[in-house]
Structures are given as structure tokens and as C-alpha cells.
Chains A and B, each alone.
Chain A
Amino acid sequence: MGHAKSPYLKYADPIPFPVINRHSHYDHLFEEMYELEEKGEILVYRITEENKPVEVLTRTGRIKTIPTTKIWHHKSCGQCGNIPGYPASVFWFMNKFGYDYMNEPHQTSCTAWNYHGSGTSNPVALAAVWLRNMHQAWKTGYYPLIHCGTSFGSYKETREQLIFNRELREAVKPILKKLGRLTEDGRIVIPQEIVHYSEWVHANRYKIKELYEKEGKAKGIDVSNVRVAIHGACHVWKMMADDYPYDPEVYGGQRPAASTAVMKAIGAQVVDYSTWYDCCGFGFRHILTEREFTRSFAIQRKLKVIAEEIKADVIITHDTGCTTTFEKNQWIGKAHGMYHPVAVMSDVMFSALACGAHPFKVVQLYWNCSNYEPLLEKMGIKNWKELKKEWEETVKHISELEKQGKYEELMEFFKKYDLYEPYSKTSDGFRRKRSATADMPLFRS
């Protein structure tokens, strides 16, 4: 049995997929989107052959096109601000696969974390922020890849609101015009697909497998005995649920496929647990100002259940809020005799480790508050102590040079340092001078 509309998606046995249910009304949106384009209201920013696209299936059986290269990285506050190894692992894979990408400062976050936490925004502002960012990507010719789960969910929701509501389009258009963010003939730019990084990982899972076989295993890494618990992020798979990969080969197409599929591809043991569908307890506002709720939920509904039911070695996530919530709320459990230590990291971080990335320099595990060391041992990364020491010495050296004001020496050091991508490609040459955070960047031209 193959997919009726694709020559590529073929499956051996008939299976009850796609999931046709009461929610399956969403795909209609795409027809409306192209109608709006025909009417000249919008321009659909298309994924082309240049992006070397890969097809995946969504919950309704729609074929979603995932670009793999010529990517405009739309970064995540939670990842860059709090889990640096998360985006670093994405970039590491991009470089390993020789993909072309743009990493530039002409972007804001989606600002939706703030909206869900405080209500201090509105659909017009959210739509304007989204469309401004997308217009910037379109201008560069690179296709946007959304790193953050909340951005992904929020953008999908905003897209639906925008396409089905003339009043929202009419409210946002004058703002975009003022910003110079319409096409020359006055149209709004909307990307053909809104793509989350976990979908990119999903689309690249067999390449990741190849890299693991070639480079990870050569370093003695073996993930076949690692027990993995998957936690899907609510804003990724519950918001606009139809537009996310499902695959007949992952739980018979009854659960989201991304993250689980890459773990299965590299041969880790994906183990099911009873509260797989529960959220993490992040709550946007709660993680900061109602932390007793966040930690209680995380411990009682997830960490305890995962420890008692399946004794997982690692919880695999695909968003920052969940990673932070599980990762930072373990130690406090000791106060109530509910300490359930387990490593926590995203699918791309675990995959990078499996493929031989440096646990500290690339995956940045020093930032973790939970115990990741037993996982490294189990994966066969036996030299993690030496690698950690190497990292700490590097940091110490940089810190001392900076304290002593030896900037020239520092720059010399970085010339010899194994920088994978010291200065990214941007769409202009002005970035350092024209910075809104001029006192903040650590590298200065």
C-alpha cells in the first residue's frame, strides 16, 4: 500500500491511516491560501527544488513538504537563551550534511511565549511579527525553519486566523506596509509550509542514521541499549494538530511521528509510558511565577511515572519549555522523597551525541542540572570526563584572557579554535554596527 498522492511514500501493509477524525477540517486551509494568492491578496513563498525537499505525512494524510537545505534559521529564545546545545546541535548537523543556511540578526522571536504567559499582545501584533519575520526570510531567498515549538504552534494558528479572517488581514496589512514588509505589488508573504526543526530532523532521520553508523559507532558509541521516553511538546502537536508528521510506522500513525522516528532510526529503545500525552507543566507564566505547580506536575505526572513504569535513561523532547521543566525540576524532588533522576535533552541533542558530537563543546551538557553522566556512560562515551576537562580549560583560558583585557590574544586564540561557524552568513554586512543589543554580543568585529 502506498500513499495515493505520492510516488515516494510506500508502506508494506494496509494500516488504519490516516487518522480521519473530527479535527480533520484543517487541510482546507491550504486551498483557501492558494485562492487568496490567485485573488492577488497574498504571495505564497514556495519550497523549491533548491531546498531539496523531503515529503512527510501529516495526521490527515496530507503530504507536507519539508525543506532540508537553503534554510533561514528562525531562532528560539528558550534554546539560545537557556539551552545553547540545542541550536548548536542543529547547526552541527547542518554543517555535517553540507546544507546551506542563513543565520542572521534581522529577526525577533515570535513573542508568543509572552502572549500565552501574560496576555500582553493581540492577534494583530502576533500576525505582524510573524509576517515580518517571514518577509525577511523571503527577501533573502532562504526558507524559514522554526526552531521553537511555541513559535511553530503560534504561527500555524495565526496563519489559520489570517487566511479565514478578512478583518485580521485588513488590520495587519497597513502595519506591514508601514514596515515595507509587503511585496512590491502590495501582497502579504505567507510561507507554503510552516516547518518546525523537529520535522527537519524527522525528514533527515535516515541521514542521521548513516552518520551514526559511520562516525558515532566508529567512536564506540552504541545507543541500542538506551531506554528512551518520548515527550511531545503541546504547542508542537496539540496546537493545530493536523499539521504535524504522523507515520504509519510510528504507533500505527496514532501518535506524532517526529522525535520517535529518529530514535527508532538510530536504534534506541523507545519505551511507552502511560502519561505520554500529558504536558510537562511549563505553563508559560507558571515556570517563572507559579513554580510549585510546574514542579509538582512535572514530578508527579511525568518524572515519577517514567521512573516507575519504564526506568528510562533519557527523556527526549522537541521543545525548550519541556526540556527546561523536566531538566531543572528534578533536584527539588529530594525535598519530598520524590527524586527520580533521568537525563533530559532534545531529539537533536541526543542524535548529535549518538553521531559523535562533543558533549560539551557542541551539545553543551554542562548547562544541564540533571544527571546526564550515566547516559553518556551507557551510550559508550567513556571519555566524557576528559572531554569535560578539555571544555573547562577552554572556558578558563577565554575567561582569563578577557579579564586581562588581552583581546588581540583572544582573537588569535579563536582563529586557531575549532570554530565550526565563526561568523554566519547574513543578508547584509552591517550587523555589528546596527545592533539593538550593541553592548551585548560577545564577539565584536
Chain B
Amino acid sequence: MEGQSYGYNIPVSERTKEVPWEEKVRIYEEVKSDFRFKEFLFGCLNCGACTASCPSNRFFDYSPREIVQRFMEEDIEVIYDMMHEYIWACSQCFTCWIRCPFVNNPGGLVIIMREVAVRNAFEATKDLLKPYGRVLLKVMTSGNQLSADMLQPDFFPDWGPKMLDNMQNLRAKRMAIPFDVGKSVKTAWEVSLETAMEMYTIWREAGIFEMLEKIDPNLYNVIMDIVEENEERWEELMEEED
């Protein structure tokens, strides 16, 4: 019902209250129309098995049971509000899924909600994902999500003093691995140019670059520079081979 929340313990933020009701319905429908939705939500006894085993529940104000209950009750106001920060507490471990007697998948509902939040470029989502930019840059351009040189000690002081030693002579350490694996410092492994071309096509065709442009235009520009540079290199290579 418009303007009314059935949330048991989730106060709806002023930000959400100010959003027109039609917009909140639109977002709710976008989540519900995802083809996975019907496979992730069946019924709920409110038993709380999901929340009892949820790692995020132990340290955040987050409950997978609440996610399921809000959808069961079609609590559009609270669902909209949850999509800004609440859902980002989920660890995506899917313990809730394996525990649920109804085989609900609250973690799956969260991933649909996250995807819709990104697609609609919610402000809170933009802020939350800013520190994640390095991973996005890496995965969008190279197809790898992590590389040895990303784990700089300055960024991970809590990992202890051995991190400093680890980063010494990193290139040489990687060269000394006696297998052709992990030898790259800037990517997890070497990715062939034709593979990268295929991946860029996937990003374009599936609307991923578009998503990225909305959520972080600066990062998008940096990524597109690298993508275009690689595409030019590929074209040159093809011309050379012809």
C-alpha cells in the first residue's frame, strides 16, 4: 500500500519516502519480472533458519528472512529502501539457500536486487561500489578479477608485515614458478587478444558497458580507453596478417 510500511524493524528512510510511489512500483516490478524470481521464492514459514545461519546477520543489520518476508508481503516501500544499502551486507554465501525448508534463495533475491540497483544507478550503490573500482577495471578490460600487483601492502595493512616481504621482487618470484601459471604480475594469467575481443562483444551485447556507464562514468571512460586501444591493436594485427 502506498506510503505504508509493514516492516517489523526496518525504518524506511526519508530518501525513500520522497521517491514517487510509481517509481518504487517500477523498481519492484523490475525485480519481480526477472526470470529467476519465480525460482528463488516459493513460500516462507518465518522459521528463521536462513537468518540463524547467515554470516552477515552476525555483524550487520541484515536478515535474509526479512528479504523473503518483504517479498511475500509485497512491501514495495521497504523493498525499495533495502535496495540502497541493506542488500549490500549479504555475503553471497548461499547458506540461506541450502538451509531453507522451502528451498527459497534469499541470496539469489539479493543478487537480482543488486543488479536492478546498479542498472538504475542508485546513488547509494554508486558510493558503495566506488572502492570496488579496481576490480571492475581489471575484469572489464582483461577478464581477470585479481592480480598479484593489486595486493599492495599499503592497501592491506591489516594483513600483517609479511605482506611487505611478499611484494619484494614480485616479478622475479613469479618468473621462478616452474609452471606456466601465475607468471603475470598485472593479470592473473595472460589473456589472448582475440579472447578479450570476444569478451568486449559480450559486455556490449549484454548491456554491461551501459550499466557501468551509469554507475561510474569516470571509470567507464578509463575502461573504454583501454578497450578501444586493444580493439585498435587487434585491427592492426589482423591487417598485418592479411
Chain A residues in the interface with B (C-beta under 8 A): 22-23, 75-82, 84, 87-88, 91-92, 103-109, 111, 113-125, 128-129, 132, 136, 153, 161, 164-165, 167-168, 174-175, 178-179, 181, 234-235, 238-239, 241, 277-279, 281-286, 288-289, 291, 293, 295-297, 301, 328-332, 361-362, 364, 366-369, 391, 394-396, 398-399, 402, 417-424, 430-431, 433-443
B176-219 vs A, CB cutoff 8 Å, 1 = contact: the mask equals: 11111111111111111111101101110111100110010000
Chain B residues within an 8 Å CB radius of A234: 93-95
Is A395 touching B91 in the complex (CB atoms < 8 A)? Answer: no
Known: A105-B191, A369-B166, A442-B185. A293 touches B60 (CB 8 A): yes
Q: Interface on B for A, CB 8 Å cutoff?
A: 35-36, 39, 53, 55-56, 58-60, 88, 91-95, 97-98, 101, 103, 111, 114-115, 117-118, 125, 128-129, 131-132, 135-136, 139, 141-148, 150-151, 156, 158-163, 165-166, 169, 171-196, 198-199, 201-203, 205-208, 211-212, 215, 230, 233, 237
CB pair B176 A395 closer than 8 Å = yes
Q: Would you give 22 A-B contacts (Cβ < 8 Å), ordered by A? A: A77-B144, A82-B146, A105-B189, A105-B195, A108-B196, A109-B143, A118-B132, A119-B111, A119-B115, A121-B211, A132-B198, A175-B206, A179-B201, A234-B94, A281-B55, A329-B159, A398-B172, A436-B191, A437-B184, A437-B187, A437-B190, A441-B184
Q: Are B215 and A421 in contact (CB under 8 A)?
A: no
- List chain A residues, Cβ under 8 A from B173: 366, 395
Contact residues in B for A330 (Cβ distance below 8 Å): 160
A398 to B174, CA, bound (A): 10
Residues of B within 8 A of A117 (CB): 92, 132, 135
Q: Are A399 and B146 in contact (CB under 8 A)?
A: no
A361 to B60, CA, bound (A): 41
- Given contact pairs A80-B188, A105-B195, A288-B132, enumerate 4 new A-B contacts (beta carbons under 8 Å): A79-B182, A118-B132, A277-B53, A437-B191
A164: B residues at CB distance < 8 A:
39
Name the distance in Å between B44's Cβ and chain A's nearest Cβ.
14
Within the assembled complex, what's the spacing in Å between the Cα atoms of A5 and B144? 41
The distance from the CB of A161 to the nearest CB of chain B, in whole angstroms, is: 7
Residue in contact with B114 in the complex, picked from A119, A181, A278, CB distance below 8 Å: A119
A431 near B93: Cβ-Cβ < 8 Å: no
Q: Judging by beta carbons under 8 Å apart, are A106 and B195 in contact? A: yes
Given contacts A124-B206, A285-B88, A435-B190, contact A88 B156 (CB under 8 A): no
User: A284–B93 Cα gap in the complex (Å)?
Assistant: 9
Inter-subunit contact B237/A419 (CB<8 Å): no
Which among B115, B135, B150 has the highest number of chain A CB atoms within 10 Å? B135
Q: How far is the CA of A442 from the CA of B211 in the complex (A)?
A: 34
Q: A125-B203, A181-B198, A369-B166 are in contact. Are A235 and B94 (CB under 8 A)?
A: yes
Chain A residues near B158 (CB-CB < 8 A): 291, 295, 329, 331-332
Chain A contacts of B187 at CB under 8 A? 81, 437, 440
What is the distance, in angstroms, from A224's C-beta to the closest C-beta of chain B?
29
- Across-interface contacts of B141 in A (CB, < 8 A): 436
B208 touches A120 (CB 8 A): yes
6 closest Cβ pairs, A-B complex: A108-B143, A331-B160, A119-B114, A436-B196, A125-B206, A399-B172
Asked if residues B181 and A423 are in contact (CB atoms below 8 Å), the reply is: no
Asked if A84 and B201 sit within 8 Å, CB to CB, the answer is no
Beyond A238-B94, A295-B158, A433-B237, whether A442 also contacts B174 by CB under 8 A is yes
Residue of A nearest to B135 (CB): A114
Residues of B within 8 A of A103 (CB): 180-181
Are A77 and B198 in contact, CB atoms less than 8 angstroms apart? no
Docked complex Cα distance between A284 and B60 (Å): 16
- Which of A117, A282, A329: most chain B Cβ within 10 A? A117
- Closest CB of chain A to B30's CB: distance in Å? 12
Closest to B113 in A: A119
- Neighbouring A residues of B237 by C-beta, 8 Å: 433-434
For B198, what are the chain A residues with a Cβ–Cβ distance below 8 Å?
132, 179, 181
Given the complex of chains A and B, what is the CA–CA distance between A82 and B143 in angstroms? 16
CB neighbours of A293 from chain B (8 A) = 56, 59-60
The winner among B97, B129, B158, B171 for most chain A CB atoms within 10 A is B158
Residues of B within 8 A of A332 (CB): 158-160
Question: In the complex, which residues of chain B have a beta carbon less than 8 angstroms from the beta carbon of A111?
Answer: 139, 143, 145
CB neighbours of A76 from chain B (8 A):
188
Query: Closest B-chain residue to A397, C-beta based?
Result: B172
Query: Are the CB atoms of A301 and B135 closer together than 8 Å?
Result: no
Instruction: Tell me the minimal C-beta distance from A269 to chain B in angstroms.
Output: 27
In the bound complex, CA of A119 to CA of B216 (Å): 13
| Nearest chain B CB to A432 CB, angstrom units | 8
Contact assessment for B101 and A120 in the assembled complex, using a CB-CB cutoff below 8 Å: no
Task: Assess the B139–A391 pair: CB atoms within 8 A.
Answer: no
**CB pair A75 B93 closer than 8 Å:** no
Given A295-B158, A440-B186 in contact, is the A366-B179 Cβ separation under 8 Å? no
Inter-chain CA distance A8–B118, complex, in Å, is: 50
